[in-house]
Structure 1
């Protein structure tokens, strides 16, 4: 085993063990049509069903549950071949025993196919059915097999670390051989593990037939034997996320990535995401030969800091055909302010950028007033919005249909809302305010928003994110009426709990009165605990519809809700089970949120969908709103509007 040549040493193994687990990719490949899967193979079956045309069989198998495919495969060889065409379309190798077994089976199939003196395997091959391969090693399996603690990898002994490194290297080498030899119909490769791209790994990717390549946490070896300049790599999608190698990032590695991967795929590349380490200072001083990207439509650059503009000029020349551009934490703004008009560009997403780049953004927008979509996903000060950006959008952008803006303050100012209302072409509007990381700061004044946005007669979708809502307090019968405590309303984030608020040691102290009143009025089971008094058993035959009324003179709101659960609250002293509390308060809040949604549908005749407090509503039949999603998190907006919420956490 050539560990030194393969480039994986103990230090890189520790970095792999310390790597944060990435979220599973939502990318799913479509299965290969049966006609292509069995091309050149004699396919006969006594079952009349399987004599149907292949396009009809494809449609039928779209409705066969995945869990039923193993049983169907046991029926006959013909059924096994069809089942495997769907069963192994998308596979994930996660370092489990099953992953090891599957990788060796795929490699054995390739060896049998290449040996003319060996009879082919009795069962239909798995390799031709694989369309997407994901390599995401689960730390749980590594911990279970090697008897280590992945929470403290630095405490692993040198001998144990050497053993882990050698076994993981055998595992990776097997996968690389599979990529190069066993998957003739592979379409997508997603490598989520930290990866050191040496010559072996590079040749495996190059000789695979994948058209979509996603690599996260990579390092480039300067000793890679790149093919001749005439070689073309027919990649259509390329996602490169460079690892945080060191504070002083070496430009030679990025130069290798450009020359050996990006430039070779230039004739076919349709989408490129290029991300460097978040903590790296990478003033790269290399200049590249001018390369054209005739098929490039989507470009996302994050973290790049290039001294020479030759890379930018190759990717974004005046004759390029880019339609979507994403810019994040990079010094490309100065180049954009001078590059002029990109006539093919339709959509721009401006992620987190330094404040000094705001002028570059304004200059770039002034040269590209033909944009249809603009998503500025960084908080902008009110002065910049009111004096520069919004007047520019309202006066010169005649085709802008989608807009996402974030106000830097705790609220989105009404002066800015009034200017947004002058962009009459808007069909989709997404507003947010305050910190975009963890806390929820924006208390939305919906009446003011409906007033200022009333001129938007073409508005179809309206979204609010990072918003909070104020819930009224519910006083227990024993509380004094003259209590002047300012905490009579508890601020809830969009989860329906108080996780983003600071209430000291006990975050639920101010909600005890709510729990006591609702537990009695909502027919919930009595509170139990060592300090709780015995409560009478509730009559299970009474009506389930209840209301909790408060005095409207102090700004409180009447809440009507249906008690759908009799699960008791778990109380130990003053600690309340947060999950039960969250569910209760969420039910109380839903009614008010739906009223706000209905008010928006009444105010905007063209409105089709509104998203408030992580709940989405559509107009429904007869102008009655119907809830589509409830309690959805921020990241799930990508499912709701995939063309808009293209998010990359770097």
Structure 2
């Protein structure tokens, strides 16, 4: 059973308190409650939090929650143990509390540390998944969030995502000391030397950099960290068009200089208009790859467009004989009407309203020609990669039918959707993984 609690604008604070109290009382009457998502625009007071943490939920989300003070979450406010299995955390002090601590000459991290250290301690032994972000954002580079002065042990933590949050070395070391299987970091936490200097994470399988770094020193630290994780199975990295370029001369040389024999999935996004042949050649040396996602392109009207050359890609990537999934995004092609701007290739609206009959016919003709073009390209890839089962290009997902009795003996590509679509969520599930965005399934050990 799961509950989502969201409070909108209220006319009076008293009314809001009544609503919060009623919600907390309702939680105590739900013995089978498993998932609790608390999203509230108003500050969470100490008495209410005491009731929340005592409910039966094992998967807990505090979504943009403001606390009125950095209370200590110790008995009797909270139980000595809090058997959470997953926690999604986006919590910050109320503005007035932050301003008061500044006037008193305190660093904000000192105030909030009391809350975080006592929050993690009672659930550290059972926590399996943690997403920790700071939507408020910390502008002062010298201010770090902490979980306390001494390291904590997280013996079951396997899925960790840190976003928009600056942590001190104690917090980072505590989390990296866990038996992590999936790790997602961004440019805020990556510059920490605690990341690049950590020991190899022997259980780590998936690594994602959610936001590209802004300077080359951070890029080198990413490469240094990756070089120690040779057991990785899935890697997800990207550049931005105006950001630091680090895939060609930092990341790919690292991947080809070490033995990444377990690497089965690779997602790379270039922040420029094309992917160099040298980079494609380095990718082709990663013979263990079973699924590959590539993208590039320049921005145009809020979108990115990559004038892809399929013949060139097939030529360079042909050694990847284990591929079962292949995806290209932002790819465009010479326009049907001869317009030189490939950015105009895709119609913005498939069925604009109102439309004339001639326009509908034109769009229908475009979609038919584009569909056939993508099917033809997919079949060419299936010839090069005999194990290919799924492909995405031209905003069309496709599968393959291999019929021994077919006259030409070639695989036949088939569409898996009725219309063009980016299928972003599905592709993210394949190449990025989904465990961090949901709740872990019940452990077989229980």
1:497 paired to 2:344: no
Unaligned runs of 5+ in 1: 1-130, 143-160, 475-486, 500-514, 516-564
Distance 2:328 2:280 in 1: 13
Q: Any conservation in 1 of the 2:214–2:244 contact (CA below 8 Å)?
A: no
2:303 corresponds to which of 412, 431, 439: 439
Corresponding residue for 2:104?
Answer: none
Corresponding residue for 2:224?
Answer: 363
Corresponding residue for 1:637?
Answer: 426
Distance 2:36 2:197 in 1: 37
1:176 paired to 2:24: yes
Distance 1:195 1:628 in 2: 45
1:420 paired to 2:283: yes
Corresponding residue for 1:449?
Answer: 313
- 1:272-306 Cα offsets, whole Å, 9 max, x none, are 01001264225127543221000000111112223
1:612 paired to 2:393: yes
- 1:158-192 Cα offsets, whole Å, 9 max, x none, are xxx644x444443232112111x211001111234
Distance 1:583 1:640 in 2: 31
Map 1:165-564 → 2, pairs under 5 A = 165-179=13-27, 181-194=28-41, 196-222=43-69, 224=71, 226-228=73-75, 231-242=80-91, 250-252=108-110, 254-277=112-135, 279-281=137-139, 283-284=143-144, 287-306=148-167, 308-317=168-177, 320-333=178-191, 334-352=193-211, 353-355=213-215, 356-379=217-240, 384-396=246-258, 397-434=260-297, 438-473=302-337, 487=339, 491-492=343-344, 496-498=346-348
Unaligned runs of 5+ in 2: 100-106, 404-410, 438-446
- The structure-2 alpha-carbon separation of the partners of 1:409 and 1:211, relative to structure 1 and needing over 3 Å to count, comes to same
- 1:126-149 Cα offsets, whole Å, 9 max, x none, are xxxxx0111245x7xx7xxxxxxx
- Deviation (angstroms), 1:469: 3.2
- Deviation (angstroms), 1:221: 3.4
- Deviation (angstroms), 1:382: 9.5
TM-score, normalised by the number of residues in structure 1: 0.57
Distance 2:127 2:144 in 1: 23
Moved more, 639-648 or 325-334: 639-648
Q: Any conservation in 2 of the 1:217–1:244 contact (CA below 8 Å)?
A: no
Count, aligned residues: 409
1:625 paired to 2:413: yes
Distance 2:431 2:124 in 1: 26
Moved more, 331-340 or 191-200: 191-200
1:135 paired to 2:5: yes
- Deviation (angstroms), 1:262: 2.1
- Deviation (angstroms), 1:581: 7.2
Q: Name the SS of the counterpart of 1:470 in structure 2.
A: coil
Distance 1:278 1:436 in 2: 28
Q: Any conservation in 2 of the 1:244–1:279 contact (CA below 8 Å)?
A: no
- The structure-2 alpha-carbon separation of the partners of 1:200 and 1:403, relative to structure 1 and needing over 3 Å to count, comes to same
Q: Any conservation in 1 of the 2:145–2:165 contact (CA below 8 Å)?
A: no
Corresponding residue for 1:570?
Answer: 355
RMSD: 3.4
Q: Any conservation in 1 of the 2:109–2:144 contact (CA below 8 Å)?
A: yes
- Deviation (angstroms), 1:263: 2.2
